[in-house]
Structures are given as C-alpha cells and as structure tokens.
Amino acid sequence: MDLDLRKLRYFVAVAEEFHFGRAAERLHIAQPVLSRQIRSLEDDLGAEVFDRGRRGTLLTPAGEQLLEDAVPLLASAQALVGRVKSAAQGTQSLTIGFMPGITLTPAMVAFTAHHPGVDVRLLRTSWDDQVAVLLDGRADIGIVRLPIDRQGLKLRPLFREPRVVMVPMGHRLADRTSVAVKELAAEHLLQDPNAVPEWRDVALELQDGRRLAVPVIHQVEEKLELVAAGAGICVLPLSTATFYTRPDVIALRVDDIGPNEVALAWAAARRSRLVHDFAQAAADTLARPHTEEQQPSTHY
C-alpha cells in the first residue's frame, strides 16, 4: 500500500484543529470532501484514526500513532522536494540547524569562502526538535546541545561550556557570585530533572513526591519569563544565558554541575559533500577553547 501524502496533510490538519470544519477552512476545501478523504485514509490503513463522538473529534490510539509519524514524514517530503528543485535549477543549498546562544558566523564565513554559490539557510531549533530536523531532512546538519538520542546520526564534538542557574532578581541567592547544587535543593526546576542530574539527586520536591507540573516550554524566552515571575529556576548553557540578557533575571555559576557539550550532528545516511565541508569549517572555527573553567558574570 502506498500512502497518499495529501491525505496525510488533511489528517494532520484535522488532528491539530480537532474539528473538521476548521480544518476544511484551513485547507481551503469543502468539509464533505475532507471527510471523504479521511475515510479513504482510514480504509487505506485499515484503522479508524478519529473518534467522532459526542465529545468532538478525538484521536484514537491509531490516530495518535499516525500523527506522531506523519508530521516528520511530511516535513521530510517537503525537504526532499526542495532539494530536488534546487538540483534541477542547478543550484545547491545547505540548511544548518542551530540552538540558541550558538554563533555560526565564523563557520558560515569559512564555508562560503570555498562555496560562494551555495544557498546557506539557517533553522533555529530547540531541545524538542534539534534531532528531528536532521532525521526528517529539514536541516542538512545541525549544531546541537548534548545529550541527544544519537540513533541514526553522526556526531562530531565541538566544545563544552559551563552551565549557570537562572534566578529572579530579589531571589535569596541573587547577591551571590556562585552557588552549590545542594543550595538549589528546595527550588522548583522549570525543565526535565534528567537534564540536570546533579539537581535531580538532591531535589526536595522529588524526594517528597510533591513536584509541581511544569508547563510546556518551547523557547528560552518562555523559561526566562517564568523565572522572572518567580515560578522557578532553570539551568542554561553560559552562552545561552549571555545571549538572552534581561535585567530581572540573574545568572549564577554553579560550582558542582557538569558542562554542556556542543557537537555537530547530521543524518548518518546523508553523503553530501557540503555537509562534510561545513562540518570541517565549523570544527576549524567554532571548536575554540571553551571550557568549564570560564566564569560567568553575576548579572545579565
């Protein structure tokens, strides 16, 4: 059976809107046409993907699985079309994913000096999608922050840098130049505890089983807004904290926390010479002596 990508796009629209009428408007098609296409997709799959009950349009377990797989598949198909069109037009392009706080300019200058005709594009990523954009083809190569799931990827280490804890102005520790992890044991961490194992091992809210729910956060700006409002603390790489300067949030060195490691990553299946050449340019220009001994300023 061959999956129809158009039907998948229709399905994703309904799944995101949770409403056939709104999805039809978004897709600029009639609602009966959309309903028939979804029924056809369900026939193709041999499974119902929506529960059309009194509670509205909800995903079935099969639909949840389809949504998880369909989004990267559609992104990969779109990236493929873009690469084929570029090749047909006799042009080359390279899309580079990058995490907040990482400056790509030196690597881009070095790369474009040897490849002046290549269309270099940048794609800002987050902790949630820095790997996905590589596997689905939206980015050809990425500068990622570890740890990540390395399956299907090739990695090349670049550097490591200190991490700092972000606290609001007026916090009990705000006048300090550095803190120890144990002094953060009573704080609420606005991120996955596994991302900061040193805090996880001493956190009172985890030991007492009273950890508050953390809202879904996709951007650094959102984390810092919550920190400034007194909702909790977060731990960031030094360069990220420095990039997102604001007067109501303070960065403190944490003496006994491990550094963040930065690396190049790309899909193992890719054989592009441009990917190899950019990786070399990045290694030559970005792998500077960035060590955990560097000291952050107290205030940002």
The pLDDT tens digits of the residues spanning 192-245 come to: 998 899 999 999 999 988 898 888 887 899 999 999 999 999 999 999 999 998
**237 class by beta-carbon count within 10 Å (0-12 exposed, 13-18 middle, 19+ buried):** buried
Q: Cite the residue boundaries of each domain of the chain with CATH code 3.40.190.10.
A: 91-160+260-286, 163-254
CATH topology of domain 5-70: Arc Repressor Mutant, subunit A (1.10.10)
- Secondary structure of 228-261 in the HEC alphabet? HCCCCEEEEEHHHHHHCCCCCEEEEEECCCCCEE
Give the number of other CB atoms < 10 A from CB of residue 182: 12
Whether the model pTM is above 0.85: no
In the chain, CATH 1.10.10.10 covers 5-70
For the segment 172-180, the average pLDDT, to the nearest whole number, is 94
Phi, then psi, of 3 in degrees rounded to 5: -75, 135
Domain 163-254 has CATH 3.40.190.10: yes
**Predicted confidence band of residue 288 (pLDDT cuts 50, 70, 90):** low
For domain 91-160+260-286, the CATH class is: alpha beta
3-state helix, strand, coil in the chain (%, to 5): 40, 20, 40
Q: With bands split at pLDDT 50, 70 and 90, how would you rate the model's confidence at 70?
A: confident
- Could you give the angle at which helices 61-88 and 5-17 cross, rounded to 10 degrees? 130
Question: What contacts 161, CB < 8 A, 6 or more positions away?
Answer: 237, 238, 239, 259, 260, 262, 290, 291, 292, 294
